[in-house]
Amino acid sequence: RHEPLVLGIETSCDETGIGIVRGRTLLSNTIASSMDEHARYGGVVPEVAARAHLEALQPAIEAALAEAQVTLDDLDAVAVTSGPGLAGALMVGIGAAKGLAVSLGKPLYAVNHLVGHIAADILDQDAGPLEYPTVALLVSGGHTSLLLVRDLTHDVELLGETVDDAAGEAFDKVARVLGLPYPGGPEIDRAAASGDPGAVAFPRGLSRASDMAEHRYDFSFSGLKTAVARFVEANPEMRADDAGRADIAASFREAVVDVLVTKALNACRDHGVPRLLLGGGVIANRRLREVALERAAAAGVAVRIPPFSLCTDNGAMIAALAAELIASGADPSTLAFGADSTLPV
């Protein structure tokens, strides 16, 4: 079978990602990030992100083609994230993808960013082929979603998601409260290393017995963020001291990790699915990886974690999903589609 050569474009947030795959083989994964430009605002600024994509796209496409040692004419298809994400940022990528597809006379595939995150795992050849069904937990600065995946190309069920902040967003906000720079996830991870995770009992959102009927697979991190802020206000001497800050960071991290892993493994057990896939930038968290691997092993659940370069936003995952769609015989998208910032799975 001819494996389709696909170029994927990802511009839903602050990374301009261009990936090239041949079927399930990764040929290149080029990422240009505008994160440094957002750092002084303490979060991603949509207009700044859109303009940065515009500037980064052309060189990123050229770099990806060079790395993959292919030309535009070699491509079988172009793929692009159509949502969810920042509307302006998405539009830049979609415009570029449409322009490429039309000028080259190649089919164009609009791809869902959330499903794309899971497709990243197809490219992780060391772990062997992706087996269905699998539960997938996506945790990043923009999403916290629990999915039941029966088939990537047409059967992805959203089990639950955050009702307020994404997990990464909580890390970023709590980092600010602790006086640590943006992005806060890696900073808190570092600060927490020497802390006691049991020092402060922070709340586990939507984990009470009364939450289990309606919100069994949903997450909430805004109450936790407020609890940390209140605690810091009441205990300023702890924030001022390295050991105290380490204890707060470790206790906060433990609360996030505990609730993420507990709900993901609940989903595995409830659905009789002994497989769990982790994706998204927050998967870089050392405690999350540790606790997920430990508790999953105890529950008889096999965990897959793509390499970090495929966990954060990238174009390769978008190309990989399009290659699966092509293999499944799916029709290409018409040119009529636009950016859908709230696109569901």
- Give binding residues for substrate as ranges: 138-142, 172, 185, 189, 285
> Which strand ranges, in their side-by-side order, compose the sheet holding 5-10?
25-33, 15-22, 5-10, 77-83, 108-112
Residue with tokens 């269905």, as numbered in its chain? 132
Q: Which of 290, 231, 225, 233 is nearest to 256 (CA)?
A: 225
| Dihedral angle over CA of 194, 198, 199, 205, nearest 10 | 110
Residue 312 binding: pick among Zn ion, ligand KG4, none (C-beta 5-8 Å cut-off by kind)? ligand KG4
Does residue 313 interact with Zn ion by CB under 5 A? Answer: yes
Binding mask of the shown chain, residues 268 to 307, with x at each position contacting Zn ion by CB under 5 A: ----------------------------------------
Does position 10 interact with Zn ion (CB under 5 A)? The reply is no
Integer Cα distance of 323 and 341 in angstroms: 23
Tell which one of 7, 9, 13, 206 touches ligand KG4 (CB under 6 A). 13
Contact region with ligand KG4 (CB under 6 A), list: 163-171, 207-215, 236-244, 337-345? 163-171
* Residue 140 binds Zn ion, judged by CB under 5 A: yes
Helix (H, G, I), strand (E, B) or coil at 7: strand
DSSP conformational letter for 219: B
Separation in Å, CA 94 to CA 109, 111, 204, 309, 333? 10, 10, 38, 23, 12
Between residues 99 and 181, which has the closer beta carbon with respect to ligand KG4?
181
- Least gap, CB of 334 to ligand KG4 (angstroms): 27
Q: For CA atoms 93, 125, 287, 279, give the dihedral sign.
A: positive
Site membership for Zn ion, residue 172 (CB under 5 A):
no
Of the candidate spans 97-105, 154-162, 182-190, 299-307, the one that interacts with ligand KG4 by CB under 6 A turns out to be 182-190
Among 112, 134, 251, 312, binds ligand KG4 (CB under 6 A): 312
Least distance in angstroms from the C-beta of 211 to Zn ion:
26
Instruction: Pick the closer one to Zn ion by CB: 112 or 134.
Output: 112
189 binds ligand KG4 (CB under 6 A): yes
299 Cα distance to chain centroid: 24
Say if residue 153 is exposed, middle or buried (CB neighbours under 10 Å; 0-12, 13-18, 19+): middle
Binding segment (CB under 6 A) for ligand KG4, from list 97-105, 121-129, 166-174, 330-338? 166-174
Nearer to ligand KG4, 8 or 183 (CB): 183
**Nearest Cα residue to 150 out of 125, 123, 118, 128:** 118
* Binding test (CB under 6 A) with ligand KG4, winner from 109, 171, 217, 219: 171
By CB under 6 A, residue 184 contacts ligand KG4: yes
How big is the chain, counted in residues?
A: 345
Q: Give the DSSP per-residue string, 55-68.
A: HHHHHHHHHHHHHH
Question: Cis bond leading into 274, ω under 30°?
Answer: no
Segment lying near ligand KG4 (by CB under 6 A), choices 96-104, 184-192, 318-326, 336-344: 184-192
Cα–Cα distance, 64 to 319 (Å, whole number): 12
Pick one of 84, 107, 168, 195: the residue that binds ligand KG4 (CB under 6 A): 168
Q: Is 340 in the site for ligand KG4 (CB under 6 A)?
A: no
Task: By CB under 6 A, name the binding residues for ligand KG4.
Answer: 13, 140-142, 168-169, 171-172, 183-186, 189, 280-282, 284-285, 312-313
Task: By CB under 5 A, name the binding residues for Zn ion.
Answer: 140, 313
